[in-house]
């Protein structure tokens, strides 16, 4: 049974920020396995009764092959329950959902729906109803073919649309606080996810054609 995230969980993250070394990770591995990773897996397991999907908690080790930053460990632990996301860090417990990996055909449909005068305001209303923080990769300027002074230019610039919220770590999070926060965020996100499903949907492109240039470009 999920028991919450005691203050020691967030102290573990503060520790790995100070000392991102194999020695620290090895010395504190029991806490990581039982309270950090184990706690996140238990949270997902309990919430899977309401939110369907496969559970996956990602490895703590960083991929060092293509980066100059050689710190061996991530400073957050995160995973997914189907389309829903949660992450632990020294800051607290973040929960979110939305469209993270967006293929070229999805991005075209997203922009067309945002720009349209009937469907674009619907997304604005869904975001207002959700009342969550909006995150995700954005362009520095208007996407090709759209005016810079479009009334929804901030949404048009987005290449990802993620909504979520953070429960601060101070004093730890009890079972009810953690479950209530994550489930509350995921429920509140429903109107946004429904809009994305209706107007963007899944990609129909072959894998090799989905993303083109790296996702941060034009």
Residues 6+ apart with CB under 8 A from 16: 24, 25, 73, 75
Judge whether 167 and 93 are in contact, CB under 8 Å: yes
Judge whether 178 and 5 are in contact, CB under 8 Å: yes
pLDDT digit string (tens) for the chain, length 218 residues: 899 999 999 999 999 999 999 999 999 999 999 999 999 999 999 999 999 999 999 999 999 998 999 999 999 999 999 999 999 999 999 999 999 989 999 999 999 999 999 999 999 999 999 999 999 999 999 999 999 999 999 999 999 999 999 999 989 999 999 999 999 999 999 999 999 999 999 999 999 899 875 444 44
**In angstroms, rounded to a whole number, what is the distance separating the alpha carbons of residues 147 and 123?**
19
Query: pTM for the full model?
Result: 0.92
The whole-number pLDDT of residue 185 equals 98
User: Domains along the chain?
Assistant: 7-209 (3.30.1460.10)
The whole-number pLDDT of residue 216 equals 42
The whole-number pLDDT of residue 215 equals 44
Structure tokens at 2: 């999920």
Burial letters 39-65, b for 16+ CB under 10 A, else e: bbebbbebbeeebeeeeebeebeeeee
């Amino acid at each position: 049974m999920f028991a919450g995230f005691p203050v020691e969980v967030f102290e573990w993250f503060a520790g790995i920020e100070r000392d991102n070394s194999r020695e620290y990770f090895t010395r504190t591995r029991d806490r990581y396995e039982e309270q950090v990773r184990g706690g996140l897996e238990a949270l997902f397991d309990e919430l899977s009764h309401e939110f369907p999907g496969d559970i996956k908690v990602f490895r703590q080790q960083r991929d060092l092959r293509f980066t100059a930053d050689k710190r061996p460990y991530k400073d957050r632990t995160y995973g997914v329950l189907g389309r829903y996301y949660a992450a632990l860090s020294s800051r607290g417990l973040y929960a979110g959902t939305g469209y993270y990996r967006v293929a070229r055909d999805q991005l075209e449909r997203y922009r067309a729906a945002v720009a349209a005068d009937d469907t674009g305001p619907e997304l604005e209303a869904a975001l207002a109803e959700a009342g969550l923080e909006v995150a995700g990769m954005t362009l520095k300027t208007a996407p090709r073919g759209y005016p810079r002074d479009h009334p929804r230019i901030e949404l048009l610039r987005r290449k990802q649309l993620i909504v979520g919220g953070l429960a601060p770590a101070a004093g730890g999070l009890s079972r009810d606080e953690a479950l209530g926060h994550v489930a509350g965020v995921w429920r509140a996100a429903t109107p946004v996810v429904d809009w994305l499903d209706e107007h963007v949907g899944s990609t129909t492109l072959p894998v090799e054609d989905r993303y083109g240039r790296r996702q941060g470009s034009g």
